[in-house]
Amino acid sequence: MNPPRHTQVAVVGAGPAGLLLALLLRRSGVDCVVLESRDRSYVEQRQRAGILEQSTVDTLRRAGAAARLDREGLPHDGIELRFGVRRHRIDFPALTGGRRVWVYAQTEVVKDLVALQLQEGGPLLFEAPVRAVTGAAADADHCTVHYLHRGQETTLTCDYVVGCDGHHGVVRRAAPQGARSVHERTFPYSWLGILAEAPPCYDELVYAHSERGFALASMRSPAVSRLYLQVPNGTEPDAWPHERIWEELDARFGADRTWRLNRGPITRKSVLPMRSSVTEPMRFGRVLLAGDAAHIVPPTGAKGLNLAASDVTVLARAFVHLYETGSAQLLDSYSDTCLRRVWRAEHFSHFMTTTLHIAPGQSSFDTRLQLSQLDRIATSPHAAAELAENYTGLPTGP
């Protein structure tokens, strides 16, 4: 089959942002093509976030992409905070009027969306790396995407291009020189993450503040644990033998020495740097950014995938409004609308990160401030509600 030559919206990147945008557009009658530089196997195995906000689940359900999520996803009604020798549960539904989150890995979201895209005939081209995007100027009447298809230079003309190809993607660099501002912060620690064939011994996520460093107990399924340790930047995964990982996890979670994790074979280890980044604006003429192409958050607040879903929900609504009415009002306000939520999520993720981690050389004064903040959350319904509302997700859109 010959590659398409023209479309209304070209979507670059077949991660959850690009695939969900394509699904929302297709269901509303807007023509689009998705281009992905990697092969299908790689895309479906990229390990990323595993927590879905209520609004993300609602969007997937409305789009007809939540059948397996509803069968296999794990709904969670809270998280547990551990600090000192204390354990405190945050009850999401009680504090937010009924909202909750779901544990459902990004790999599974992507598999579901890829299957729908291919099943319903929407053009999705794997191994089609984009080389350049032209036509980003405000007065351009169309864009052109230059990419490789089966080793041949190919072009795709379109009304708009949406970059869902990540922080280092091609689309982000298509903005005219000086047209964008980038705000960034790098944190002085990383996460060592593992997947283990061990049933979680906890029902909900556990966030632990320890003098030894932060730890997080999550899960992928009732039989697979997903666990994280704060480690120094530059750490190599092989520097942590399996036994050392288990011992350190037990030490950080079990400050009162009464709690131990279930152990099992560790099937994957990786180190994840912690950083924040926001690109403003998220639109440059006919080129728009969504998801990681526009913003990065540290994973402590579980916001990355959910921000991407929020972006494309707003963007799909704007494109549908444009093609149905001829009005660009919603498209013109896309960047401002999304950035309000982005900066709120950045603030929450920064708060969770700096409250729970021990920075190199941190003073006892700063540690006591952290413990005071955690005590405030544990003793004040208002402080607990603020955390719960941000964790389960703020409203999408204006």
The ranges assigned to domains in the chain are 6-75+101-184+275-352, 186-273+360-392
Contact 304, 48 (CB under 8 A): yes
Question: Across residues 124-151, what is the average pLDDT?
Answer: 89
Whether 110 and 19 have beta carbons less than 8 Å apart is answered as yes
Q: What is the 3-state secondary structure (H, E, C) of 369-391?
A: HHHHHHHHHHHCHHHHHHHHHHH
pLDDT at 177: 67
- Taking 90 as the threshold, does the pLDDT of residue 58 lie above it? yes
Each residue of 190-242: pLDDT tens digit? 999 999 999 999 999 999 999 999 999 999 889 999 999 999 999 999 999 99
> For the chain, what's the residue count?
398
Range 6-75+101-184+275-352 has CATH code 3.50.50.60: yes
Q: What is the mean pLDDT of the chain?
A: 93
Express each pLDDT in 239-295 by its tens digit.
Answer: 999 999 999 999 999 866 678 899 999 999 999 999 999 999 999 999 999 999 999
Stretch 78-91: mean pLDDT, rounded?
95
The per-residue b/e assignment along 316-331, b for 16 or more CB within 10 angstroms, e otherwise, is: bbbbbbbbeeeeeebb
Cα separation of 333 and 43, whole Å? 31
What is the distance between the alpha carbons of residues 398 and 386, in angstroms, rounded to a whole number? 20
What is 186-273+360-392's CATH number?
Answer: 3.30.9.10
List the beta bridge partners of residue 209.
Answer: 83
- pLDDT at position 78 is 97
User: Looking at the predicted structure, is the pLDDT value of residue 398 above 60?
Assistant: no
Least confident stretch, 114-123, 141-150, 364-373? 114-123
User: In b/e form, how buried is each residue of 214-249, taking b as 16+ CB within 10 angstroms?
Assistant: bbbbbbbbeebbbbbbbbeeebeeeebeeeebbebb
Q: How large a percentage of the chain has pLDDT more than 90? A: 87
Question: The tokens of 298 are what?
Answer: 């540290």
Which residues are within 8 A (CB) of 396 and not within 5 positions of it... i.e. 6 or more apart?
A: 55, 59, 310, 313, 314, 341
The domains spanning 6-75+101-184+275-352 and 186-273+360-392 adopt the same CATH topology? no
Gap between the Cα atoms of 354 and 356, Å rounded: 6
Judged by DSSP in three states, 149 sits in strand
- Distances in Å between the Cα of 201 and the Cα atoms of 135, 223, 224 are 54, 10, 11
* CB-CB contact of 133 with 155 (8 Å): no
- By C-alpha distance, which of 281, 317, 377, 353 is closest to 89? 377
pLDDT in tens, 23-57: 999 999 999 999 999 999 999 987 676 899 999 99
CA 117, 120, 124, 126 torsion-angle sign: positive
Would you please indicate which residues are annotated as catalytic (active-site) residues? Answer: 76, 207, 299, 303, 391
For residue 174, what pLDDT band results from cuts at 50, 70 and 90?
A: confident
Query: Which pLDDT band, with edges at 50, 70 and 90, does 397 fall under?
Result: low
Tell me the pLDDT tens digit for each residue of 337-364.
999 999 999 999 999 999 999 999 999 9
